[in-house]
Amino acid sequence: MPVKVSMTVNGKPVSAEVEERTLLVNFIREHLRLTGTHVGCDTAQCGACTIEMNGDAVKACNMLAMQAEGAKITTIEGIAAADGTLHPMQEAFREHHALQCGFCTPGMVISAIDLVRRHPNPSEEVVRAELDGNFCRCTGYHNIVKAILDAAPKVAAMR
């Protein structure tokens, strides 16, 4: 039996009739057509589906859309400025060549923003430990770590 779910996604209120078993990631991708949030492993290990819910990074493939009822959600589509200027974290990823195929990047960027909010001046060790939940199979992580270390003070200065 379909149920109604409502939340705020990237600043816009959205609501839809969904099946109870609809995963949040499917709601985002298939109902809202925001396909920047990826489904990688679909078993809550790889982190490609990472989004922000009420200020915390979570894995959208491992929760129901109904669990996000009333929540404020930010996806990768919601972090650049209105005029298209990239978020400093996105810009740093571009600058440092922190992606190759790009599949993990949306989740990686959302996790990275969450990370520098909690650790405004992180050490390399902290960055590597905190990226535990995001897999990248191309880069070997070095450039991702460089990008995050570079972006951290800029992201901290945003608030």
Partner 1 sequence: MYAFTYRKAKDVKDAAAGLAKNADAKLLAGGQSLIAAMKLRLSAPPELIDLGTISELRGIKSDGKNVVIGAMTRHAEVAASTDVKKAIPALAYLASQIGDRMVRNMGTLGGAIAHNDPAADYPAAVVGLGATVETNKRKIDADAFFKGIYETALDPGEIITSVSFPIPKRAAYMKFKQPASRFAMVGVMVADTGKDVRVAVTGAGPCVFRVKEMEQALGKKFAPDSVANIKVPDKGLNSDIHASAEYRAHLVTVMAKRAVEAALK
- What is d(CA 67, CA 4) in angstroms, rounded to the nearest whole number? 12
- What is d(CA 72, CA 54) in angstroms, rounded to the nearest whole number? 5
Task: Please identify, using beta-carbon distances, which residue of 29 and 84 lies nearer to partner 1.
Answer: 29
Task: Please identify, using beta-carbon distances, which residue of 7 and 114 lies nearer to partner 1.
Answer: 114
The CB-of-23 to partner 1 minimum distance in angstroms stands at 8
- What is d(CA 29, CA 98) in angstroms, rounded to the nearest whole number? 24
Contact between 78 and partner 1 by CB under 8 A: the answer reads no
Sign of CA dihedral 71, 75, 81, 87: positive
The CB-of-66 to partner 1 minimum distance in angstroms stands at 5
Task: Please identify, using beta-carbon distances, which residue of 23 and 99 lies nearer to partner 1.
Answer: 23
Contact between 125 and partner 1 by CB under 8 A: the answer reads no
Contact between 145 and partner 1 by CB under 8 A: the answer reads no
Q: Show the DSSP H helices in the chain as ranges.
A: 24-26, 88-95, 105-118, 124-130, 142-157
State the residue for tokens 């191309």: 138
Residue 114's identity, in one-letter code, is: D
The set of residues, in sequence order, having a beta carbon less than 8 Å from that of 12 and lying 6+ positions away, is none
Judged by CB under 8 A, the residue of 31, 45, 91, 154 near partner 1 is 45
Contact between 8 and partner 1 by CB under 8 A: the answer reads no
Q: How many residues bind partner 1 (CB under 8 A)?
A: 30
Residues within the interface to partner 1 (CB under 8 A): 1, 3, 19-21, 23, 42-45, 47, 50, 53, 56-59, 62-64, 66-67, 69, 111, 114-115, 130, 132-134
